[in-house]
Chain A
Amino acid sequence: KNEVEQSPQNLTAQEGEFITINCSYSVGISALHWLQQHPGGGIVSLFMLSSGKKKHGRLIATINIQEKHSSLHITASHPRDSAVYICAAAINTDKLIFGTGTRLQVFP
């Protein structure tokens, strides 16, 4: 059983659409990370959350600790947002457990 589950696995959108990616986890965590991976393979950290909500530009991340669920929202999506978005659960300072990622393609 995967400890971190993401949905959907693949997502296509038209430019300007509002996008939501969901993440559920079954382990106790110290924080929940949202990461972005571009086709070249590099990983960029978008958010680290332990409670509530964070916003950075058009990106919003929320977490519900009781329900063990987090969401990543992209407002006014743009083709440059096309990437794989990965949810990862932080287990203390020892490691991240990764979800399988959501491949997002935004078309003009």
Chain B
Amino acid sequence: EPEVTQTPSHQVTQMGQEVILRCVPISNHLYFYWYRQILGQKVEFLVSFYNNEISEKSEIFDDQFSVERPDGSNFTLKIRSTKLEDSAMYFCASLGLVYEQYFGPGTRLTVT
């Protein structure tokens, strides 16, 4: 069964550093999402992406964040200058033909 993959599974970075989280959505899906979950809190929407542009973004998704689909398969989330409060689990998801979202296993980002 096709699945969404994410790399790395765990990323440790120092405050102020740039990080890129990578996702490979399911190949025939057209809508892509990033969500995050701070430890002990609920999952929050960050951004949706369709037709090579941002469809919607949340208040969390400020100028420090960017997304792109550089090569038609990967879908990346970049955080330009990480803050301690960016520590969270980041989930990528893609939308199937019957509108079911398929989630990747997540990347645990730890900012020290």
Q: Which of B45, B95, B103 contacts A97 (CB 8 A)?
A: B45
A71, CB-defined interface residue at 8 Å:
no
Interface string of A30-43 (1 = CB under 8 A from B): 11010100000111
Q: Which of A43, A93, A100 contacts B91 (CB 8 A)?
A: A43
CB proximity to A under 8 Å, residues B57-112: 58, 89, 91, 93, 95, 98-103, 105-106, 108
Interface size on B, residues (CB 8 A): 26
Chain B residues in the interface with A (C-beta under 8 A): 31, 33, 35, 37, 42-45, 48, 50, 55-56, 58, 89, 91, 93, 95, 98-103, 105-106, 108
A44, CB-defined interface residue at 8 Å:
yes
Chain A residues lying within 8 Å of B99, measured Cβ to Cβ, are 30-31, 48, 90, 93
A48-B100, A98-B42 known, 15 other contacts, Cβ within 8 Å: A41-B106, A43-B43, A43-B103, A45-B100, A45-B101, A86-B43, A90-B99, A93-B50, A93-B95, A94-B55, A94-B56, A95-B33, A96-B35, A98-B44, A101-B42
Counting chain A residues whose Cβ lies within 8 A of the other chain, the interface size class is 20 to 34
Chain B residues lying within 8 Å of A98, measured Cβ to Cβ, are 35, 42-45
